[in-house]
Structure 1
Amino acid sequence: MKPQVYRSKAAWLLGWLWMLFAAWNVWDLTAHGHLPSALIAGAVLGVITALVFVMALRPAVIVEEGGVRVRNVLRNAYVPWSGVDDVSVTNAIVIESGDTTVRCWTPQATARERVRAAGRAAKAAKSANKAERAAAEAVGARTHADWVADQLTEMSRSRRESSSGETRVTWSPSAVAAIAAAIVLVVAAFVVS
Structure 2
Amino acid sequence: MKHVYRSKTAFVLAWVWVAFVAFNVWDLIVRYNGKASLVALAVLGALTALVYAVALRPATVLTEEGLVGRNPFRTTFLPWAAIEDVTVSHAITVQYGDERVLRLWTPMSSARERAKAQRRGTATERRGRFKTEPTLPRAEQAAVEAFAGKTHADWVGDQIRDRAESARRRGEEAAPARVSWSYDSIGVLVAAVVLVIAAIVIA
What is the TM-score of this pair, normalised by structure 1?
0.88
1:143 aligns with 2:151: yes
Q: Does 31-40 or 62-71 show the bigger shift?
A: 31-40
CA contact (8 A) 2:60 2:68 kept: yes
Counterpart of 1:46 in 2: which secondary structure? helix
Q: Distance in 2 between matches of 1:15 and 1:134?
A: 34
**2:199 match:** 189
Q: Distance in 2 between matches of 1:74 and 1:59?
A: 9
Alignment gaps of 5+ in structure 2: none
- 2:189 pairs, out of 168, 179, 183, with 179
Q: Distance in 1 between matches of 2:108 and 2:10?
A: 12
Q: Percent identity?
A: 44
Alignment gaps of 5+ in structure 1: none
Shift of 1:165: 5.3
Shift of 1:133: 9.3
Shift of 1:28: 2.1
Change (3 A) 1:134 1:69: closer
Q: Distance in 2 between matches of 1:145 and 1:63?
A: 14
CA contact (8 A) 2:58 2:70 kept: yes
Counterpart of 1:16 in 2: which secondary structure? helix
Considering fraction of residues, name the structure with more helix.
Answer: 1
The amino acid of 1:176's aligned partner reads I
Q: Distance in 1 between matches of 2:142 and 2:184?
A: 46
After superposition, where does 1:1-193 map in structure 2 within 5 Å?
Answer: 1=1, 3-99=2-98, 100-122=100-122, 124=123, 126-127=125-126, 138-160=146-168, 161=170, 166-193=176-203
Q: Does 23-32 or 13-22 show the bigger shift?
A: 23-32
Q: Does 38-47 or 162-171 show the bigger shift?
A: 162-171
RMSD (Å) for aligned C-alpha atoms: 2.4
Change (3 A) 1:40 1:186: same
Q: Does 39-48 or 25-34 show the bigger shift?
A: 25-34
Q: Does 130-139 or 8-17 show the bigger shift?
A: 130-139
Q: How many residues align?
A: 191
Structure exhibiting the larger radius of gyration computed from Cα positions: 2
Q: Distance in 1 between matches of 2:78 and 2:147?
A: 27
What is the TM-score of this pair, normalised by structure 2?
0.84
Q: Distance in 2 between matches of 1:145 and 1:18?
A: 25
